[in-house]
Structure formats: C-alpha cells, structure tokens
Amino acid sequence: MAVSSDEFIKREITQEVGLKVGIYSARVFSEGSDDDQKLFQNGGLTFTHLGQDYGSCDCVYVERNNGSDRPILAIEGTDCLSRGSSGNAQYQRFHHILGAVKQGIIGVYYLRKGDHKVQPDLYGMAYRVSQTYKTPYLIVQDLFVIKDILMLMNKGVSELNSYIEQYQKKTFALYEEKFRKDYQNSWEKFADKRSTIIFKDHIVKYSARNKLNFTDSSVRAGHIAVGEMFLTKYSFPDKPFYYLWPRMTAREVKELDTEKSNDKEWQLIRKEPNVVIKTIDDLVGLPNELRFVFEQVKHSALKGEYVRKWNAAAKTLHELIKAGKVQVR
C-alpha cells in the first residue's frame, strides 16, 4: 500500500530531525490515527487560542515536565511543492501551527523541496506573525534548521535567539526582493494586483467565494479562503479588514454559521480578530447592472464565459470602491 504524502512527511521529520533531540521528544501519530485532532493537553496535536481550535500539527517536540508534556516546537509539513502547488495552495496550511504560535510555542511550516518554489509571501506572513505574537514562526525547507533550533535550546536563550533572528532576516529578504520586483515597494500596486483596497483605517479584500465553496467537499475552497485571509491580515497586521464576497448574501453567511458551526476553517474565518465578512448586501451604491452580473455568476464555476464576467465585474467594483462611489458598510 502506498504511503500518503502526510505520512511520508511525518516519517521524514522523525528520521531527519529525530524522535528525540537532547531532552526533547517528538509527539507524532502514524497514518490512520485521529489523535492529532485532539487538543494538545488531551494528548493530541491541535492548539487553541481564545477558545478557537486551529488545524492539527504533524509533529510537536515536547519536554517532560513534572509528569506532563510541555510543547516546545510545533511543525506542520507539506509536500505540496511536488504536487503542482505553485500559488495560493501553499497558504492552505499556514494556519495549522498558528494556534501554537499564539500560545508562545515556536512554530515551523515545513515545505519539502519540490518542483515549485516557496511563495515569498509566506516569509513575509511568518515574519509579521512573529512580530505580532513575539514568538518565532518559521518557513523552513531544510529539516536541519529544526534540529539546530532544538539543540540550541539546551545552550541558552542568546544563541537560540541569534540563530532564529538571522534565519528570519535571511528569509524575510526573499519576501522584500519579491515586493520590490513585483510591486516596486508600493502597497498601492500590491493592493491593485491582489484584489485589495487600502483605506486609512481599514482595508477591503474581495474574493469570488460562494456558499458552495464551503459546502461541497470536492471544491475544498475553505482552506484557500482561510489562507487568503491570513495572507491579507499579515500583510496589513495593524488594520482591520473587510473580507468581501460579492457572490454571497448575508443570509447565506448566517446559514453557514449554523451548518458549519463545528467546522474549524469556517470558525477561523468568523472568529479571527479584526476580520469581518461582508457580502453583496453590504455594498452601498452598487450599480444595478453590476449587481445583475454578480447574481448571474453566483452559483457558477468560474470558467469560460463566467470567469470573464466575474473578472470584468470585479475590476469595476474595485475601481468604484477605491473611488468611494461604492461603500462597504
């Protein structure tokens, strides 16, 4: 029987980093186990913050302390770079270790080397998370970085902090290089290319999400929606933002609140501080012809004629919101 990519990643971590590094041991579960879904304090690999559960991790290194395990470093791994993920799909698991970082535990998102390169935006997101919560969040492709960190933990805070600082400085430079190249160091250019409008006291990020994205398991757009949210939030960590879905109504959001009350991804979107979902019902001054187009493409897969209609309508909406002719209330 072929080994799944998740199981392969777990085995690689424990083989390359080790089941035990100094005084630290790996808590990891093999394929077929659901124990990773349990909260860490209940023997699992999932962390919570302010009552919200985050995605489960692949491995957590722990220190035995007074008869219980104390989490030291949490890892989420993916082989997506070898599986056609060159764009937004790389953000899908970014949130899995965010709960650990928010609890003050070092977090590592490990993207195994493959055919595609890591999106530099991930380095920027991780750096800003680290700054926001005063706990390192690292994007890693070399498992020996993890082993180095675990070994340095035994040598003192100064060496450990210096190592992490230098690593983050190096990876953040990759993000800065892309920002210069693609957006000429302009947040306005970034926003115009990334479906975002910047205002003095908030931002608007619009997306083509519809209800089916969250109810049809074959679409699996929930992970993408969460990834987009965190990319936006940690591009502008000091600003609240409106997450605008013109293909949805306020009623549909309420329906999802009921239908997805136990869904981690939906609850992350709904409960993340400074993130507010907005729908077509929240658009003031929207021209009737534009409203008609959004209704036309509401339930359709965005392909062919429908994606052309969406793109044209979204571009017009962007210009109207930016000019203040349409407001998001």
Which CA distances in Å does 199 have to 188, 192, 208, 274, 275? 10, 13, 21, 15, 15
18/111 same-domain check: yes
**Residue 218: pLDDT band with limits 50, 70, 90:** low
High-pLDDT (> 70) share of the chain, %? 98
User: Using an 8 Å Cβ cutoff, are 7 and 29 in contact?
Assistant: no
At 122 the pLDDT is: 96
Q: Exposure string (b/e) for 159-178, b if CB count within 10 Å is 16 or more?
A: ebeebbeebbeebbebbeee
pTM of the model: 0.92
Per residue in 149-180, pLDDT tens?
999 998 889 999 999 999 999 999 999 999 99
204/289 same-domain check: yes
Mean pLDDT of the chain: 94
DSSP string, 61-84: EEEEETTEEEEEEEEEEE-GGGTT
Mean pLDDT for the stretch of residues 98-109:
97
Whether the pLDDT of residue 88 is over 90: the answer is: no
Long-range contacts of 260-264 (CB under 8 A, 24+ apart): 260/214, 263/214, 263/222, 264/53, 264/54, 264/55
- Overall number of domains in the chain: 2
**Residues facing residue 276 across a β-bridge:** 242
Domain that holds residue 169: 5-179
227/302 same-domain check: yes
Which of residues 144, 179, 214 is at a domain's end?
A: 179
At 32 the pLDDT is: 81
CA distance 5 to 10: 9
Which of residues 179, 200, 231 is at a domain's end?
A: 179
Whether the pLDDT of residue 312 is over 60: the answer is: yes
DSSP string, 241-281: EEEEETT--HHHHHHHHHHTTT-HHHHHHHHSTTEEEEEGG
51/98 same-domain check: yes
119/248 same-domain check: no
Which of residues 125, 144, 179 is at a domain's end?
A: 179
Strands (E), the chain: 20-21, 24-27, 46-49, 52-56, 59-65, 68-78, 106-111, 137-140, 196-198, 203-206, 241-245, 275-279, 283-284, 327-328
Both tokens of 10, joined, read 């777990």
High-pLDDT (> 90) share of the chain, %? 84
CA distance 55 to 53: 7
Both tokens of 220, joined, read 């699996």
69/169 same-domain check: yes
Q: Which of 125, 101, 95 is nearest to 231 (CA)?
A: 125
206/85 same-domain check: no
Q: Which of 236, 57, 203 is nearest to 195 (CA)?
A: 203
**Look-up of token digits 């979902």:** 277
Per residue in 222-243, pLDDT tens?
888 998 999 999 999 999 999 9
Whether the pLDDT of residue 1 is over 60: the answer is: no
Whether the pLDDT of residue 221 is over 90: the answer is: no
Whether the pLDDT of residue 272 is over 80: the answer is: yes
For 107, phi then psi, to 5°, come to -115, 140
142/207 same-domain check: no
Per residue in 249-265, pLDDT tens?
999 999 999 999 998 88
20/96 same-domain check: yes
At 189 the pLDDT is: 96
Measure CA of the first residue to CA of the last residue in the chain; give whole Å: 54
